[in-house]
Amino acid sequence: MTDLNENDYLLLTPGPLSTSPTVRAAMNRDWCTWDDDYNVGVVTPIREKLVQLATASRPDEYTCVLLQGSGTFSVESMIGSTIPPDGKLLVLANGAYGNRLAQIAARLNINHIVHDSGELAPPDLMRLGETLSDDPGITHVVVVHNETTTGMMNPLEDIASIVKSQDRVLLVDSMSAFGGVPLDVAELGVDYVVSSANKCIQGVPGFGFVIGRVAHMKQTKGWARSLSLDIHDQWQCMEHGRGKWRYTSPTHVVHAFYQALIELEEEGGVAARHARYTENQRRLVTGMERLGFRCVLPVKYHSPIITGFRSPEHPDYEFQRFYGLLKAQGFVIYPGKVTGIASFRIGSIGHVFPEDIDRLLIAIQASMYWE
Ligand SMILES: *Cc1c(COP(=O)(O)O)cnc(C)c1O
């Protein structure tokens, strides 16, 4: 069970997440950014470990670039840096994070089309295949792995197999799944994947990372639509500078992340973490349904990451009041984000254990003031 101080609360949100005391303690000193202890001793092993997490089968074909900022900065850098000036992007959207991919493409003036399947349905695979056959101008496809809006796990394997059979570049926002859900980008044929420090690897917020296929990344020099978000430039600096970042790096956050990676290994790797998150989510759904709550999505679309629940239909129910009662008992939950359905969300990731979920369910039962 998570050990908390008196006024702390457990974050049951889509990020930032609850972290271990040892991850937080790893930040408790200052470091020089150009020193070898940092670049060679910490940044370089982080890059190597992240590639290993992305593909155990063919790590030599991929590289990893760390980038300052929240996760969206890395998503924007991936979209803005890996599509040539005359490229065309197909965005698969089924929620707020998918829509954000389209928003980024629009803001960067990237030629793109959007397949929006709505928040309650996965991407339309038939339509994807047909569109790629009909429009040879489409060079890239981008999709969210786990759509954190609803908690829907998108069918990445099927999407990748269609995109690869048509020989296009596949970009994946796996922000909320990477490190918590087993994945092998080389086997799937994913060209780029992005995530951040403060999701399933359980570090603190401050940077993100892009893992990309070296053979493709080599071609992208000069394509970036932004200086500070130029993945090729950042990559070259990290390669030739042996772990050096362009511009000030978040040293404390990077040290915390290194510790978080060690703790992921100690837990037993991604498979063990996935098992813990799955058990958290299973207990959560079973317990919530026993209390009379209903899930937003059918079970077949659930992920171990986050779950949406419909708001109670009682006229006295108010999210803010419910939230406040839970916070007073040490738990922070998240508002819903699905259009047209009053809901709230509870995350099952981070330094959170099945016993914490049991305690949460007791707190929820005690907070159902409308009953
Ligand atoms: C959390 C998240 C993001 C955005 O991350 P920020 O750190 O808030 O910028 C992007 N995509 C997905 C799927 C996410 O879950």
Residue ending a domain, choose from 266, 289, 306: 266
CATH code of the domain in which 149 resides: 3.40.640.10
349: CATH: 3.90.1150.10
- What pLDDT score was predicted for residue 44? 97
Specify burial of residue 231 (Cβ count, 10 A radius: 0-12, 13-18, 19+): buried
Reported as a single tens digit per residue, the pLDDT across 104-148 is 999 999 999 999 999 999 999 999 999 999 999 999 999 999 999
**SS3 state at 324:** helix
Q: How many domains would you assign to the chain?
A: 2
Pocket residue to mutate for ligand 1, from 148, 194, 198, 277, most atoms within 8 A of Cβ: 148
- The pLDDT tens digits of the residues spanning 126-135 come to 999 999 999 9
Our mutation pick for probing the ligand 1 site, out of 196, 201, 257, counting the most ligand atoms within 8 A of Cβ, is 196
Are both 185 and 294 inside the same structural domain?
no
303 shares its domain with 318: yes
Residues 182, 307, single domain; the answer is: no
From 337, 325, 306, select the one nearest 364 (Cα to Cα): 325
Contact 101, 173 (CB under 8 A): yes
Distance CA 86, CA 110 (A): 8
Q: 266, 294, 318: which is the final residue of a domain?
A: 266
What tokens were used for 194? 């992005």
Burial 323-347 (b: 16+ CB within 10 A, else e): bebbeeebbebbebbbeeeebbbbb
Instruction: Let me know whether 31 and 136 are in one domain.
Output: yes
Which DSSP string corresponds to 164-177?
Answer: HHTT-EEEEE-TTT
SS3 282: helix
What is the rounded distance in angstroms from the CA atom of residue 355 to the CA atom of residue 49? 30
Question: Do 102 and 248 fall into the same domain?
Answer: yes
**Pocket, ligand 1, Cβ cutoff 6 A:** 14-15, 70-72, 75, 97, 144, 148, 173, 175-176, 196
* pTM higher than the cut 0.75: yes
The answer to whether residues 70 and 209 belong to one domain is: yes
Helices (H), 218-314: 231-240, 251-267, 269-290
211 in any annotated domain:
yes
Token pair belonging to 172: 């994946």
Whether residue 344 is contained in a domain is answered as yes
- Distances in Å between the alpha carbon of 231 and those of 67, 141, 265? 8, 18, 27
Instruction: Quote the tokens at residue 305.
Output: 């990451």
Helix (H) or strand (E) holding 73: helix 71-82
Q: What is the pLDDT of residue 33?
A: 84
Distance of alpha carbon 150 from alpha carbon 122, whole angstroms: 11
Q: How far is the CA of 69 from the centre of ligand 1 (A)?
A: 11
Amino acid 15: pLDDT: 85
> Average of pLDDT values for 182-190?
98
pLDDT in tens, 318-351: 999 999 999 999 999 999 988 889 999 999 999 9
Atom of ligand 1 nearest to the CA of 196: 7
